């Protein structure tokens, strides 16, 4: 029988502070030791999983040559097929303070024991009472506000999956310059990496 730690509802101020810390490159004790890394992605070779590297390269290749922006219409399931089981697509809500799962990949739901398609991130946080909820919300907010991709790596509680989750969050829009969706590659890894890449300052 697993034990869950009751987590209070996150406030916008808490999410804002944690998101600002990520943008500023500062370590956040609130995320705890189970969060191994949070970093902006600058190049494909920095990503440890081939599917994540594939998604990031696709995102780079699809950038508008004039504006550097990314149109969601350019990312169909066929173009993302090599990673499709490990993809989540989320609609941005409340300017990045929340998001709704439009797609929740089968390999992700199989490892987390639930398909969250149609639910919001805040609803998932309330249902699972996950102590890493602040990390999820802060990363999404930081990606939304910076329009830059972020890689994160964390250890899920044993009662959820007990796996390392390696994620890349990519911002896209519907033709404008504001982030309106996240395309997320999410890879569960059974064993704990020997080198998590954790650094001083930015996780």
pLDDT in tens, 38-59: 999 988 888 999 999 999 999 9
Position 96 in a domain: yes
Q: What is the CATH number of the domain that holds 152?
A: 3.30.450.20
For residue 151, the cross-strand partners are 39, 168
Position 110 in a domain: yes
**Residue 56 burial (CB count, 10 A):** 22
Pick from 170, 133, 136, 138: nearest CA to 24: 138
Position 5 in a domain: no
pLDDT given at position 125: 87
Q: Which residues contact 49 (CB under 8 A, 6 or more apart)?
A: 166, 185, 187, 189
Position 77 in a domain: yes
Place 194 in a pLDDT band, splitting at 50, 70 and 90.
Answer: very low
Rounded percentage of the chain residues whose pLDDT exceeds 70: 86
Position 194 in a domain: no
pLDDT given at position 203: 40
Position 197 in a domain: no
Domain containing 92: what range? Answer: 12-189
Position 113 in a domain: yes
Contact 145, 139 (CB under 8 A): no
Report, as an integer, the average pLDDT of 69-98: 95
Number of domains in the chain: 1
Does residue 146 have a pLDDT over 60? Answer: yes
Q: What is the DSSP letter of 6?
A: -
Beginning with the edge strand found earlier in the chain, give each strand of the sheet holding 87-93 in spatial order: 35-40, 150-155, 164-172, 181-189, 87-93, 98-104
| Report field, pTM of the whole predicted structure over 0.75 | yes
Position 200 in a domain: no
- 84-111 pLDDT, tens digit each: 999 999 999 999 999 999 999 999 988 8
SS3 182: strand
């Amino acid at each position: 029988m697993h034990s869950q730690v009751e987590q209070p509802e996150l406030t916008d101020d808490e999410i804002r502070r944690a998101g600002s810390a990520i943008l500023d490159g500062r370590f956040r004790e609130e995320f705890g030791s189970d969060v191994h890394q949070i970093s902006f992605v600058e190049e494909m070779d920095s990503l440890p999983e081939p599917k994540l590297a594939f998604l990031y390269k696709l995102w780079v290749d699809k950038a508008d040559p004039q504006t550097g922006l990314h149109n969601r219409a350019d990312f169909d399931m066929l173009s993302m097929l090599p990673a499709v089981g490990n993809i989540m697509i989320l609609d941005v809500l409340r300017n990045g303070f929340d998001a709704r799962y439009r797609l929740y990949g089968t390999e992700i739901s199989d490892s987390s024991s639930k398909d969250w398609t149609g639910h919001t991130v805040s609803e998932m946080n309330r249902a699972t009472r996950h102590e890493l909820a602040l990390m999820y919300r802060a990363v999404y907010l930081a990606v939304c506000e910076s329009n830059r991709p972020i890689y994160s790596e964390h250890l899920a509680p044993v009662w959820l999956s007990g796996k390392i989750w390696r994620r890349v969050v990519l911002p896209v829009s519907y033709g404008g310059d504001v982030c309106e969706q996240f395309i997320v590659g999410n890879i569960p890894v059974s064993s704990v990496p020997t080198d998590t890449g954790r650094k001083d300052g930015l996780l």
